[in-house]
Amino acid sequence: MNGGFTVPEPTLRTTPNLTPFVVFAYDKMGPGRRFFDVVVVKGTFALTAGPLRLAPTQRDVVFADTYLRDDAPERGGLREAGDVVLCKPTTDVFVTGTARAPHGRAVARWSASVCVQRGALTLAKHTVNVTGPRVWRRTADRSWTLSEPTPTDAVPVRHELAWGGAWPDRDDPTRWTVHRPNPAGLGFVDPHTLTSPDAPDTLAAPQWELPDAPVTVPNAPVEAAGFGPIARWIPSRLAFAGTYDDAWKQQCRDDLAQGLPVDYPADFDARFFQCAPPPLVMPAHLAGDETVTLAGLTGEGDALTFALPSIAVEARLTDDAGTWFDEALPLDTVHIDLDAREVMLTWRLVLDPARGIHNALVCTAEPLTP
């Protein structure tokens, strides 16, 4: 109860699970203060070449985004992307963990890519260049030159190692100047630092860059590069969050005065819930019959290609009249964890309470191969 507004009780009451996956049901408010029953199904598979096989241990649902820096989440990047969202209009594909050089050999730089295909059709391909640790060194004339990378065989997939950054105001440390496309990165620094006699002799430089946008000098911005999930405040996601202008703020004040919860802006777009890097947000939901090729990420000499399992996750729904009917759950997330050598697949069902669905029996259309 919130003043004159009551959050409705979920219509969905039970979600029996006949799959080996983890199932979680919850309700979420959507635009217009309409509440929906949501069922998320999360399956964990071993990352190996060929068809994906069930992992012996199934990972739990992640209830909320977590960040690498508890003290300043906005400057630390995502540790884990939460699974409990309202919906995803299409499929996210993203990578976490540590990228490993081909053949496991230490090299100064290499190319890494993720390619999603359905048969001979390429649905998405994202290529990023990876380097070993490198720095900008201050020269005698107080300019900066980029060093050659130190050979390495592993680089974490983290936005902190891509171009970006933030710095505090010298007079008011509570105020920060932020590179909004990637506040967690490297290379965006206080200009005073670059020219001050007290400046350090070296500055850490990014290790992830796009092939057509190489890193050059500090404060010469380039597009942030990487394969990991992106936070909600990054502009590529905020573009879908709607307009938070004075009119919206006034509407919020009016609503709160009436005991109503804050609503989404009128132009909110559900694509805001997609958290993959934009090149890896699929054009439509994946069907589960696609292949994913990882190059320069797993340490193998050649690219590793795995096939998504052709699993139809379904819910047998019962409405108020006792009528049964089946509904397929779209696959909306493919999370590749390089360190755990696992792939997490997430299917999601969004139910309008107006349908009167009170039971959702979660099952698969065919038995799974262990």
pLDDT class of 287 with cuts at 50, 70, 90: very high
Q: Which long-range contacts (CB under 8 A, 24 or more apart) does 56-61 make?
A: 58/20, 58/21, 58/22, 59/22, 59/342, 59/344, 60/22, 61/22, 61/24
Alpha-carbon gap, residue 177 to 239, rounded angstroms = 20
The model scores a pTM over 0.75: yes
DSSP per-residue string spanning 10-59: PS--B--B-SSSEEEEEEEEEGGGEEEEEEEEEEEEE--SEE-EE-SSPP
Alpha-carbon gap, residue 25 to 350, rounded angstroms = 10
Q: What is the pLDDT of residue 369?
A: 54
Position 2 pLDDT exceeds 70 = no
What the block records as the tokens of 316 is 């047998």
pLDDT class of 301 with cuts at 50, 70, 90: confident
Q: What is the pLDDT of residues 110-124, one digit of tens each?
A: 999 999 999 999 999
Q: What is the pLDDT of residue 3?
A: 56
Strands lying side by side in the sheet with 359-364: 324-328, 313-318, 359-364
Position 367 pLDDT exceeds 60 = no
Mean pLDDT of 57-63: 97
Position 364 pLDDT exceeds 50 = yes
Task: Assign 346 to helix, strand or coil.
Answer: strand
DSSP structure class, residue 288 = S
Q: What is the pLDDT of residues 159-195, one digit of tens each?
A: 999 999 999 888 888 888 999 999 999 999 999 888 8
